[in-house]
């Protein structure tokens, strides 16, 4: 095994043990915002910011160590937030996804915080739906 391969493996393993705080909320409208990955511990802050709903746009198991949607859903309920799991595979947003996303987003109490790994997928879904 080369030194470069070993160094890459070490860096990847080191990343497993630290939680990257990706909850950077980006307001897209008065009713909708997008964020990177959230954690159950973030729910108190999300509720205190006035959000009424949380939507997960990540498939479970997309990344190692990612909290599953059921864990996030339970924490959301404990803070009085509605929750929907609407997973979309990154880079594979289709017309049917946009239609279904619009239905889910329309039904949720506002404002909604949607999240994915980085926030980009959630923002893209909302933007494409708005322009559809």
The architecture that CATH gives domain 21-130 is Alpha-Beta Complex (3.90)
Whether the upstream peptide bond of residue 20 has omega within 30° of 0, thus cis, is no
DSSP β-ladder status, 26-27 and 32-35:
antiparallel
pLDDT by residue for the chain (132 residues), tens only, comes to: 565 554 455 455 444 444 445 688 999 999 999 999 999 999 999 999 999 999 999 999 998 889 999 999 999 999 999 999 999 998 888 889 999 999 999 999 999 999 999 999 999 999 999 986
Name 78's Cβ contacts closer than 8 Å, sequence gap at least 6: 43
pLDDT for residue 40: 96
How many angstroms from the chain centroid is the CA of residue 125?
12
Q: What pLDDT is stored for residue 64 in this prediction?
A: 87
């Amino acid at each position: 095994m080369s030194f470069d391969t070993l160094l890459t493996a070490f860096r990847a393993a080191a990343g497993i043990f630290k939680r990257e705080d990706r909850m950077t909320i980006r307001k897209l409208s008065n009713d909708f915002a997008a964020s990177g990955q959230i954690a159950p511990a973030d729910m108190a802050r999300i509720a205190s910011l006035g959000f009424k709903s949380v939507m997960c746009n990540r498939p479970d198991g997309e990344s190692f160590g990612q909290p599953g949607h059921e864990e996030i859903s339970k924490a959301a309920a404990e803070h009085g937030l509605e929750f929907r799991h609407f997973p979309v595979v990154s880079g594979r947003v289709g017309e049917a996804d946009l239609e279904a996303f619009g239905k889910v987003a329309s039904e949720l109490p506002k404002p909604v915080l949607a999240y994915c790994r980085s926030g980009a997928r959630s923002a893209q879904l909302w933007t494409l739906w708005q322009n559809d």
